Amino acid sequence: MSNRILTLMAVHAHPDDELIGTGGVLARYSHEGVNTVLVTCTRGEVGEIHDPDLNEEEARPRLGDIRIAELNCALEIIGVKHSEQLGYRDSGMIGTPDNEDPRCFNKADLGEATGKLVRLVRQYKPDVITTYNEIGGYGHPDHINAHRIAVAAFDAAADPAQYPDAGEPHQAQKLYYTSWNFKRWQQMTEEMKARGLKSPWEDDEDSDKTPEQREKEQTEWMERMQTEMARQTTEVDTHEYATLVRRAARCHRTQFSQDSFFYTLPEDLNHLAFGADTFARIKSFVPVPEGTETDLFAGIR
């Protein structure tokens, strides 16, 4: 036990990703005095524009700036102390022409991108780093690259032979992947159906996919969830911060439409969905508890 200030670094792909999977822990640890650092790899230029007050044509060329402003608004609400940008261009969803833009994260030299993150790890000296799993949570190329550079930087930052000009070596103690809190979301979806509310997945059900396609997707999704749940080691209670996270989501006006479930969800269901953030612990240099871990800093405090 020491009185040293603990540091958490979360590595994300786009402005708004910080709230999904880490919104609760960033809010909770920030409020508990932990030094929190968010690294966002891209500026989100390719995202949708749901803000009814914006004109798409006018806003599109400055969407990166708009989204950074939205991010700053959200981080102020949840209390994150430091926000860093790697400055890459959003690559868009896989198979879209934006993937080919030379400025995009998809086309970045990953050694160079890792070096940028190593510099930040050595500067902020996080005890804990979080990022996405190998498939970037759901397959977005920018999320996959965020995963790759975060995993690489976790080790490289500690190695004096790597990136010698990027500061004094630092070894973070634990590395986590964010993990979908499937149980809670399933409960929430069932509860929404029982109350006659439109579930977040219903738009998809309305699409023109064949029943076979839908069933195949459903099976694949269930398999993915099971694999992901089997890997979960850690569930951090973020109940007290669920309302704050939702308030922060309102800052991302271009990303969540006004009728998004994020806004319309009854408060008790918001607590159900956002009452805990779950993770898979991938590396630890400190002893870890048996059974479900409830604190990302367990073993370090």
* Residues of this chain that bind Zn ion (CB under 5 A): 13-14, 17
Let me know: does 35 contact 7? Beta carbons within 8 Å. yes
Integer CA distances (angstroms), 88 to 16, 81, 296, in order: 15, 22, 28
Residue placing its CB nearer to Zn ion in the complex, 17 or 127: 17
The token pair at 274 is: 């956002």
CB 94, min distance to Zn ion, A: 12
Q: How far is the CB of 167 from Zn ion (least distance, A)?
A: 28
Cβ proximity to Zn ion: between 44 and 174 the closer is: 44
Q: Which is nearer to Zn ion, 13 or 86 (CB)?
A: 13
- The H or E element spanning position 33 is none
The whole-angstrom separation of Cα 150 and Cα 132 is 9
Q: Can you say how many angstroms the Cα of residue 9 is from the centroid of all Cα atoms in its chain?
A: 11
**Of 12 and 184, CB closest to Zn ion:** 12
* In the complex, least distance from residue 299 CB atom to Zn ion, rounded to whole angstroms: 30
Q: Nearer to Zn ion by C-beta: 17 or 70? A: 17
Of 16, 292, 105, the C-alpha closest to 26 is 16
Using Cβ positions, the residue closest to Zn ion within the complex turns out to be 14
Rounded-to-integer distance, Cα 170 and Cα 153, Å: 10
- The single-letter code of the amino acid at 13 is A
Joined tokens for residue 266: 């009854």
CA distances from 62 to 58, 65, 127, 220 (A): 8, 5, 35, 37
Give 126 or 137: the residue with its C-beta nearer to Zn ion.
137
Count the residues in the chain: 301
Q: Compute the Cα dihedral for 9, 12, 14, 20 and give only its sign.
A: negative
* Residue number, 28 or 43, with CB nearest to Zn ion: 43
Query: How is residue 20 written in tokens?
Result: 């999904």
From 300, 290, 279, 272, select the one nearest 229 (Cα to Cα): 279
For Zn ion, give the closer residue by CB, 51 or 142: 142
Quote the least distance from Cβ 143 to Zn ion, whole Å.
6
Residues 6+ apart with CB under 8 A from 249: 16, 19, 23, 74, 256, 262, 263
Quick one: how far is CA 57 from the chain centroid?
28
- Please report how close the Cβ of residue 201 comes to Zn ion at its closest, in angstroms: 18
